[in-house]
């Protein structure tokens, strides 16, 4: 009998050890990686997430955002590796920066895929293609909790107004160090220079590069890019979603209740962040006013001008669609197509 009790106790202890990962001691501080400053919707959304989690877990989980690429030494295309290795516990990261590690994320950088159509972006993220991307991230070591947004990327420069692909000819444009952007800008005759965001600001100020491309509400305004660049073209050539994710190792170390709290806080913060990144763009063009007041000359493209850019970059789209995975791209195109997304878009034609 005694032997039986002893055996049972040992067995229970064994079960307890199996359950241990979820019950392991929590870290005193969980690190979160950010490429940008605390100002602007991107940085503020991350801070909101950290604050919500701390409050709702009564301080059990303290997340510290490390802004300005501090965790990756400003090598932003390494950010996903930080999640994989557990160096960062959380990230609110750009799909562009992670696309060097997760090739499927180049989907969002396909040139002129969307035309400033937020409903299509939301529809794609909520679709099977969006879910597939989250599964791929999980397989690669990061648990995606919510979609945020940097925004549609618009081009600025200090040389001339850009209204046609030819206007880009010879311009030195700073891009993130990912091959798809080199291909896109070369296809339009520009001279792309890959550079981390940390270096880009001084390169723009000193004139080492003529221009750059980034979203208006999240980057152009908070970083006061009009101090270096006079011209901006709203061409919406690529969307830059953000993903709020946890390192799988970190995730597995949290108990079930805390995972729920963290997931909910991520969704809430990302919803706020996405809304803020879209604020003032669309119909009420408060952002355009801000740019104009600060001396920027704004080019808004006609549908024909937009088409010229799309046609010029089409070979890059086709090449990258194959590299990304044609099934995923076609499924994303279907999800983003008018008629698939919610009411009001039926019957609108889209050219590919
Ligand atoms: O480097 C950029 O251009 C930025 C800030 O938008 C990203 O991190 C992708």
Give the tens place of pLDDT for each residue, 234-287: 999 999 999 999 999 999 999 999 999 999 999 999 999 999 999 877 655 888
- 15: which residues sit within 8 A by CB, 6+ positions away? none
Q: Does ligand 1 lie within 6 Å of residue 94's CB atom?
A: yes
Q: Give residue 79's pLDDT.
A: 97
Give the model confidence (pLDDT) of 85-134 as tens digits: 999 999 999 999 999 999 999 999 999 998 779 999 999 999 999 999 99
Q: Is the pLDDT of residue 343 over 70?
A: no
Q: Does ligand 1 lie within 6 Å of residue 197's CB atom?
A: yes
* pTM for the whole structure: 0.90
Q: Which tokens is 274 given?
A: 């996405």
Q: Give residue 2's pLDDT.
A: 53
Q: Which tokens is 101 given?
A: 């590690």
Q: Is the pLDDT of residue 210 over 90?
A: yes
* % residues pLDDT > 70 (the chain): 88
Give the model confidence (pLDDT) of 16-32 as tens digits: 444 444 456 999 999 99
- The more confident residue out of 196 and 4 is 196
Residue with CA closest to ligand 1 atom 6: 214
Q: Does ligand 1 lie within 6 Å of residue 34's CB atom?
A: no
Q: Does ligand 1 lie within 6 Å of residue 57's CB atom?
A: no
Q: How far apart are CA 63 and CA 45, in angstroms?
A: 13
Q: Is the pLDDT of residue 82 over 80?
A: yes
Q: Is the pLDDT of residue 15 over 50?
A: no
Q: Does ligand 1 lie within 6 Å of residue 35's CB atom?
A: yes
3-state secondary structure of 306: helix
Q: Work out the burial of residue 201: count CB atoms within 10 Å of its CB; fewer than 13 is exposed, 13-18 middle, 19 or more buried.
A: middle
344 Cα: distance to centroid of ligand 1 (angstroms): 32
154-238+283-325 carries CATH number 3.40.190.170: yes
Q: Give residue 344's pLDDT.
A: 42
Q: Give residue 73's pLDDT.
A: 85
195 Cα: distance to centroid of ligand 1 (angstroms): 10
Q: Mean pLDDT over residues 166-172, rounded?
A: 98
Residue with CA closest to ligand 1 atom 5: 197
- The more confident residue out of 143 and 116 is 143
Distance of CA 304 to the CA centre of its chain: 29
Q: Give residue 280's pLDDT.
A: 77
* % residues pLDDT > 90 (the chain): 84
- 86: which residues sit within 8 A by CB, 6+ positions away? 247, 249, 250
Q: Is the pLDDT of residue 186 over 60?
A: yes
Give the model confidence (pLDDT) of 38-62 as tens digits: 999 999 999 999 999 999 999 999 9
How many CB atoms sit inside 10 A of residue 281's CB? 21
Domain boundaries, the chain: 27-150+240-278, 154-238+283-325
| Same fold yes or no, 27-150+240-278 and 154-238+283-325 | yes
CATH topology of domain 27-150+240-278: D-Maltodextrin-Binding Protein; domain 2 (3.40.190)
């Amino acid at each position: 009998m005694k032997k039986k009790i002893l055996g049972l106790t040992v067995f229970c202890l064994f079960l307890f050890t199996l359950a241990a990962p979820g019950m392991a001691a929590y870290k005193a501080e969980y690190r979160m990686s950010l490429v940008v400053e605390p100002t602007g919707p991107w940085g503020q959304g991350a801070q909101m997430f950290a604050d919500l989690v701390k409050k709702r877990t009564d301080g059990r989980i303290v997340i510290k955002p490390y802004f300005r690429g501090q965790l990756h030494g400003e090598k932003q295309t390494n950010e996903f590796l930080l999640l994989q290795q557990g160096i960062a516990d959380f990230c609110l990261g750009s799909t562009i920066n992670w696309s060097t590690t997760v090739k499927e994320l180049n989907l969002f950088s396909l040139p002129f895929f969307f035309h400033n159509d937020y409903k299509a972006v939301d529809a794609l993220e909520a679709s099977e293609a969006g879910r597939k991307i989250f599964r791929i991230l999980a397989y690669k070591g990061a648990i995606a909790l919510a979609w945020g947004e940097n925004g549609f990327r618009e081009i600025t420069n200090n040389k001339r107004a850009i209204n046609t692909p030819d206007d880009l000819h010879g311009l030195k444009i700073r891009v993130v160090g990912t091959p798809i952007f080199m291909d896109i800008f070369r296809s339009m005759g520009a001279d792309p220079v890959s550079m981390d965001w940390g270096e880009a600001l001084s390169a723009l100020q000193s004139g080492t590069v003529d221009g750059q491309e980034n979203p208006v509400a999240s980057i152009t305004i908070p970083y006061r890019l009009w101090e270096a660049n006079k011209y901006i073209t709203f061409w919406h050539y690529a969307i830059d979603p953000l993903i709020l994710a946890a390192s799988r190792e970190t995730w597995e170390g949290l108990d079930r209740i805390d995972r729920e709290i963290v997931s909910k806080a991520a969704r809430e913060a990302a919803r706020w962040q996405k809304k803020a990144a879209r604020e003032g763009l669309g119909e009420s063009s408060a952002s355009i006013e801000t740019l104009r007041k600060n001396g920027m000359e704004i080019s808004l493209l006609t549908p024909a001008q937009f088409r010229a850019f799309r046609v010029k970059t089409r070979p890059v789209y086709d090449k990258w669609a194959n590299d990304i995975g044609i099934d995923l791209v076609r499924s994303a195109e279907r999800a983003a197509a008018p008629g698939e997304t919610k009411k009001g878009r039926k019957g609108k034609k889209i050219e590919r």
